[in-house]
């Protein structure tokens, strides 16, 4: 019996542009711009003290108390293997709702800065390009073309894989 790799099926259908259209919160990591569906965003807050949690992945900064609920906070720069940078006055935490099986988890994501909210129409969105064999990108919804710039649209539910969510879910459940 051969081991099974836990990667997205290459035959998994990309949602149609019509399904991906809508409002996106655009944020920056370095010089790149990313977007998440506004419906997934709970709130945006300034950077604050995060309580570290031992034995978590390197990109998990720890947890915060959000109105009596403890939620994990990840640094998207570290998650995407970008060069770490010091936090500035523009650094913020975007609190998002992610699906974990039957449960919904709230999670804080640290980004360099929030840029804008865009309403994207189907014509603005292209499928994610094929990056070649062995490169799986299930967390990418597509690429938005706006004013000669490309914005990377994220499926925030897929940014963390199931194993990572299981570990973070145990912090909250």
How confident is the model over 91-125, as pLDDT tens digits? 999 999 988 777 788 999 999 999 999 999 999 99
pLDDT tier, 7 (very low <50, low <70, confident <90, very high otherwise): very low
CATH number at residue 132: 2.40.50.180
Q: How many domains does the chain have?
A: 1
Within-domain flag for 166: yes
Between 7 and 143, residue with greater pLDDT? 143
Residue with tokens 């259209």: 21
Rounded Cα gap, residues 63 and 74, in angstroms? 9
Within-domain flag for 2: no
pLDDT of residue 28: 97
pLDDT of residue 35: 96
**Cβ distance 152 to 63 under 8 Å?**
no
């Amino acid at each position: 019996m051969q081991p099974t790799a836990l990667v997205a099926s290459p035959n998994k259908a990309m949602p149609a542009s019509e399904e991906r259209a809508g409002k996106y919160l655009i944020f920056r990591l370095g010089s790149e711009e990313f977007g998440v569906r506004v419906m997934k965003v709970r709130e945006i807050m300034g950077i604050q003290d995060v309580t570290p949690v031992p034995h978590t992945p390197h990109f998990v900064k720890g947890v915060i108390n959000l109105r009596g609920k403890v939620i994990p906070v990840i640094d998207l720069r570290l998650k995407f293997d970008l060069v770490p940078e010091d936090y500035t006055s523009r650094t913020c935490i975007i609190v998002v709702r992610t699906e974990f099986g039957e449960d919904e988890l709230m999670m804080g994501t640290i980004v360099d800065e929030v840029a804008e909210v865009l309403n994207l129409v189907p014509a603005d969105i292209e499928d994610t390009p094929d990056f070649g064999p062995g490169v799986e990108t299930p967390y990418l919804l597509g690429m938005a073309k706006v004013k000669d710039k490309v914005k990377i649209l994220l499926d925030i539910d897929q940014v963390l894989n199931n194993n990572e969510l299981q570990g973070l879910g145990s912090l909250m459940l």
